[in-house]
Amino acid sequence: MIKLFFKTFLRNIKRNPLSGIINIIGLALGFTVVIISSLWIMKQFSVDKNFKNYDDIYQVMITGTFNGEKSTDRSTPIPLAKLLQSDFKNEMQHITLVSKRENANFKSGEKRITGKGLYAMGAFSELFTFESIKGDVSTPALPSKMIISESLARRLFGDVDVISKVVELNGKAQYQITGVYADLPENSTFHQLDYILPFCDYLKQNPDADQSWGNCFFHTYASIQNPLSLPSLERTTTTILKSKLTDIDPEVLLHPMSKWYLYDDFKNGKNIGGQIQYVWMFALVSALIILLACINFINLSTARSIKRGKEIGILKSIGVNRRQLIQGFLFESILSVFLAFILSLPLILLLLPWINGFIGTELRIPFHSIFFYLIAFLSIVLLGLSSGLYPSLFLTSFNPILALKGKSIQGNSKFKARKIMVVIQFAISIFMMIATYLVITQLNYVKDRPIGYSNKNLVNVTSSSGEIIKKFDVLKKELFDKGLIQNATLSSSFVNNLALTGGGFTWQGNDAKEGSIMGIYTIDENFAPTVQWKFMKGRNFSKDFKTDSIAVILNEAGAKYMGVSDLNSKQLSFRGVKYRILAIIQNTMSESPFKSITPTVYFLDFLPKNKITLRLKDGENQSQILKNIGEKFSAIDPNLVFEYTFTDQEYAKQFKQMEMIRSLTSLFTGLAILISCLGLYALVSFLTEQREKEIGIRKVLGASELGLWKLLSTEYIWLTFIGFMIATPLAYLFMEKWLENYVYRITISWSIFAVTGGLALFITLITVSYQAIKVALSNPIDTLRNE
């Protein structure tokens, strides 16, 4: 019987190659989208799964009220971690606190490299179960001890045993290596963590840091094996924290590792999702596209019913029962799906290098996994059964006598079902077109957002040293005299990276009891001309005015927050000092371009200035210039490894996620339109072929070509319109909900729907018109000859 089914399948492909090929291509494109989406989704769910304690690890987070708004932060104070270690050691295990990651310069003999690492207190490497390659990888507790990653060890010493070897850090401190741990995978929170230092060394450099509850620059983690204790732990620690941080009304949140990546967005103290929204988005897109392919299969299978009617009638007349016929049609359906799956694999392999390039990770088909083949087998069978069930039931319901006589075997209900499915196809395609249009529009809108400075040719020097900072003025003059730079500046943070916010700001009319929180920069007089600020009011800091040391510059958001309209109308008080407002500048994009601007204050003298920014000249050989600049830095500090980033490139990285979403949605929408057009073309071909004699009679009776074109096309125009009317409100609601995640966002205009509706109608007309015009221009003698 299987042999008969297979022969029947091949015979039908040969007789109707158009529908057979389109069915297989449509399903192959559907499989392509589903498999690529599934690979990406699995990658998202695999983040941090390499840690053995994945289900038990939690991060301590604090929700506080800042400037009247609730905000959730991952940063915590040192005393909180110490309190947890002493008072909650029964409820929490492996409590650890770490600093934020920072670059360090390593020197071993003549080898100089940089690495990125952190200071850790407690059982950091034990909590995250670092794999030992050499020595003891327990978190260092003694001064001047360190553990390093396998890759850093290889970069420093090659294949030599590094245990007990001493390296110089940042040109001053000597550290002994006590252990080497395996590199953490790409999909890990701590990927590219090169070294871990004992926290006692951090406290040695910052002796008062562990006494301040307001010094929230650290991350605290712990293992909690009893999830039922979470509410009690959060309430108890919140009560303690409220007595220490009275100005922000804090609440403690214990955030599980399983949600660090996928559920990382918070609003008003509540988790609102995050990366998970894109996971669901691509899951939905995959489902819609495979549905389009199934609708194609069903529509084309039922449309071919007249051509297969006699075949079915003959089979029934020789004793083949309905169950066997259904099995045969389902076999054909599953075989079509299998061939589509096989065809999709080379297409996926062709697309993956391009996709991997713009998503910044490596997706691979797991050919080595039995699980992959099991899922593929189940998917082929389920998809084959689901797409072939209705056609098989429909085709086997024919009366064999009527079928053998060549009578029409399609009732009105069949036409209605087919039209409904065509409408669904149009609705899905138009929905995806609108969604893609809005994603692209939103991305372009944010990319065009004014950044308040010029980031072209602006270089942030990410490696520095005390010696460089001390001799910065001499270095700057030499670089300028040699024609290597236009300008240079020294500041506490780079212009594109607001590193510090602080509380306690007060002014006339401010009702906050403990003062308000604002962003803080310390800059020099060259900062404004180097980054090319845009002043709204006032002037820049100047060495000619000594009183500028007690003056500040505000960004627009800061001025608006304080209610400053006139520079002399208010003074800003901070830590017992009154500052006059010297200027107001245009808001600078120093954080995510997708978020609101933080009210920010710029001081001349407050924080240490240790960040160097250079502005290079236009049109020069920048690689050579930066090499020459690096030599000047090394002449001052031979231990320094000169490293830098371009500000415009760093800013562009913030759009990487949205660029990835745009590219994938554009690709998938294009495939959805292609699947719909292929199906519609084949369907119209069959239906117009069935109406050839009717068209011939109409032409003989005087019908014009234009009239016949309208006759054949009008139905599909109406179906497109109905699909558009269904898709429009759904797309509006879905995308409006998505846009709520963005502070700086577009307003959905009805012109967007008009454009996409017009485009959908145009695509429909192009697809339908070829067959409609072909039939309308045909010679009626040819079509009526066999009547």
Could you write out the DSSP letters of every residue in 434-491? HHHHHHHHHHHHHHTS--SS--TTEEEE----HHHHHTHHHHHHHHHHTTS-SEEEEE
Q: Contact at 8 Å (CB) between 144 and 136?
A: no
**Residue position matching structure tokens 């108890």:** 236
> Does 372 share its domain with 439?
no
User: In the Cβ-directed half-sphere of 73, how many Cα atoms lie within 13 Å?
Assistant: 19
Which pLDDT does position 207 carry in this prediction?
Answer: 82
Quick: pLDDT tens for 163-185.
Answer: 999 999 887 889 999 999 999 99
> Does 601 share its domain with 498?
yes
> Does 462 share its domain with 610?
yes
- Split into its structural domains, the chain has a count of 4
Long-range contacts of 5-12 (CB under 8 A, 24+ apart): 5/327, 5/328, 5/331, 5/332, 6/331, 6/335, 8/311, 8/328, 8/332, 9/331, 9/332, 9/335, 9/336, 12/304, 12/308, 12/332
Section 1-24 average pLDDT: 73
> Does 484 share its domain with 630?
yes
> Does 474 share its domain with 442?
no
Which pLDDT does position 698 carry in this prediction?
Answer: 74
Neighbouring residues of 532: CB distance < 8 A, sequence distance ≥ 6: 453, 454, 615
- pLDDT band of residue 211 (cuts 50, 70, 90) is confident
User: In the Cβ-directed half-sphere of 303, how many Cα atoms lie within 13 Å?
Assistant: 28
Which pLDDT does position 70 carry in this prediction?
Answer: 83
Which of 587, 617, 647 terminates a domain? The answer is 647
Q: Which of 86-95, 300-309, 317-326 has the highest mean pLDDT?
A: 86-95
Which pLDDT does position 314 carry in this prediction?
Answer: 67
Which pLDDT does position 116 carry in this prediction?
Answer: 92
Which pLDDT does position 387 carry in this prediction?
Answer: 81
Which pLDDT does position 774 carry in this prediction?
Answer: 72
Q: Contact at 8 Å (CB) between 200 and 218?
A: no
> Does 627 share its domain with 659?
no
Quick: pLDDT tens for 117-142.
Answer: 999 998 899 999 999 999 999 999 89
Which pLDDT does position 306 carry in this prediction?
Answer: 58
Answer yes or no: is pLDDT of 321 > 80.
Answer: no
Quick: pLDDT tens for 548-567.
Answer: 999 999 999 999 988 898 88
Answer yes or no: is pLDDT of 197 > 90.
Answer: yes
Strand 535-538 vs strand 577-585: parallel, antiparallel, or unpaired?
antiparallel
> CA 587, CA 554: separation in Å to the nearest integer?
9
Which pLDDT does position 103 carry in this prediction?
Answer: 85
> Does 146 share its domain with 287?
no
Which pLDDT does position 638 carry in this prediction?
Answer: 84
- pLDDT band of residue 401 (cuts 50, 70, 90) is low
Q: Write the DSSP string, 36-100.
A: HHHHHHHHHHTTTTTSTTTTTEEEEEEEEEETTEEEEES-B-HHHHHHHHHH-TTT-EEEEEEEP
> CA 232, CA 45: separation in Å to the nearest integer?
29
Global pTM reads 0.84
> Does 642 share its domain with 693?
no
Instruction: Decide if 254 is inside a domain.
Output: no
Axis crossing angle, helix 656-690 with helix 322-359, rounded to the nearest 10: 150
> Does 403 share its domain with 476?
no
Least confident stretch, 149-153, 443-447, 738-742: 738-742
Answer yes or no: is pLDDT of 360 > 90.
Answer: no
Cα→Cα distances 614→465, 681, 694, Å: 16, 59, 78
User: Exposed (0-12), middle (13-18) or buried (19+): which is 248, by Cβ within 10 Å?
Assistant: buried
Nearest to 121 by CA among 196, 179, 20: 196
- pLDDT band of residue 308 (cuts 50, 70, 90) is low
Instruction: Decide if 663 is inside a domain.
Output: yes
Answer yes or no: is pLDDT of 785 > 70.
Answer: no
Sign of CA dihedral 259, 260, 264, 266: positive
Instruction: Decide if 194 is inside a domain.
Output: yes
> CA 538, CA 783: separation in Å to the nearest integer?
85
Answer yes or no: is pLDDT of 328 > 70.
Answer: yes
Answer yes or no: is pLDDT of 581 > 90.
Answer: yes
Phi/psi of residue 419, nearest 5 degrees: -65, -40
Section 345-367 average pLDDT: 89
Answer yes or no: is pLDDT of 592 > 80.
Answer: yes
Joined together, the tokens standing for residue 575 give: 């830590």
> CA 746, CA 444: separation in Å to the nearest integer?
10
Give residue 340's identity as a one-letter amino acid code.
A
Axis crossing angle, helix 705-739 with helix 412-447, rounded to the nearest 10: 50
Which pLDDT does position 680 carry in this prediction?
Answer: 85
> CA 725, CA 746: separation in Å to the nearest integer?
22
Least confident stretch, 9-18, 135-144, 501-510: 9-18
For the chain, what percent of residues have pLDDT higher than 70? 91
> Does 147 share its domain with 188?
yes
Instruction: Decide if 775 is inside a domain.
Output: yes
> CA 269, CA 251: separation in Å to the nearest integer?
9
**Residue 576 CB neighbours (<10 A):** 6
- pLDDT band of residue 678 (cuts 50, 70, 90) is confident
> Does 280 share its domain with 319?
yes
Answer yes or no: is pLDDT of 734 > 70.
Answer: yes
Ranges assigned E (strand) in 500-617: 501-505, 516-522, 535-538, 551-555, 571-574, 577-585, 600-603, 611-615
Segments forming the whole domain that contains residue 761: 430-449+648-787
Answer yes or no: is pLDDT of 310 > 70.
Answer: no
Section 440-466 average pLDDT: 90
> CA 393, CA 397: separation in Å to the nearest integer?
6
Residues present in the chain in total: 787
Quick: pLDDT tens for 747-770.
Answer: 998 889 999 999 999 998 888 887
Section 437-444 average pLDDT: 91
Q: Contact at 8 Å (CB) between 38 and 378?
A: no
Quick: pLDDT tens for 22-65.
Answer: 888 989 999 999 999 999 999 999 999 999 999 999 999 999 88
- pLDDT band of residue 104 (cuts 50, 70, 90) is confident
Which pLDDT does position 303 carry in this prediction?
Answer: 67
Q: Contact at 8 Å (CB) between 669 and 759?
A: no
Axis crossing angle, helix 322-359 with helix 370-395, rounded to the nearest 10: 140
Which of 609, 630, 647 terminates a domain? The answer is 647
Which of 647, 679, 696 terminates a domain? The answer is 647
Answer yes or no: is pLDDT of 194 > 90.
Answer: yes
> CA 8, CA 286: separation in Å to the nearest integer?
31
R_g (Cα) of the chain, nearest Å: 34
Instruction: Decide if 490 is inside a domain.
Output: yes
Joined together, the tokens standing for residue 231 give: 């509410």
Answer yes or no: is pLDDT of 715 > 90.
Answer: no
Return the higher-pLDDT residue of 625 and 411: 625
> CA 253, CA 162: separation in Å to the nearest integer?
40
Neighbouring residues of 304: CB distance < 8 A, sequence distance ≥ 6: 12, 16, 19, 686
Which pLDDT does position 594 carry in this prediction?
Answer: 86
Which pLDDT does position 19 carry in this prediction?
Answer: 73
Average pLDDT, the chain: 86
Least confident stretch, 124-128, 292-296, 629-633: 292-296
Q: Contact at 8 Å (CB) between 347 and 258?
A: no
> CA 261, CA 279: separation in Å to the nearest integer?
12
> Does 755 share its domain with 772?
yes
In the three-class reduction of DSSP (H, G, I as helix; E, B as strand; rest coil), residue 301 is classed as helix
Instruction: Decide if 260 is inside a domain.
Output: no
In the three-class reduction of DSSP (H, G, I as helix; E, B as strand; rest coil), residue 130 is classed as coil
Instruction: Decide if 308 is inside a domain.
Output: yes
Instruction: Decide if 389 is inside a domain.
Output: yes
**Residue 245 CB neighbours (<10 A):** 19
Q: Contact at 8 Å (CB) between 643 and 637?
A: no
For the chain, what percent of residues have pLDDT higher than 90? 43
Answer yes or no: is pLDDT of 722 > 70.
Answer: yes
Return the higher-pLDDT residue of 375 and 503: 375
Return the higher-pLDDT residue of 411 and 392: 392
Answer yes or no: is pLDDT of 407 > 60.
Answer: no
Which pLDDT does position 692 carry in this prediction?
Answer: 67
> CA 261, CA 52: separation in Å to the nearest integer?
17
Q: Which of 446-460, 685-699, 712-726 has the highest mean pLDDT?
A: 446-460
Answer yes or no: is pLDDT of 398 > 70.
Answer: no
In the three-class reduction of DSSP (H, G, I as helix; E, B as strand; rest coil), residue 608 is classed as coil
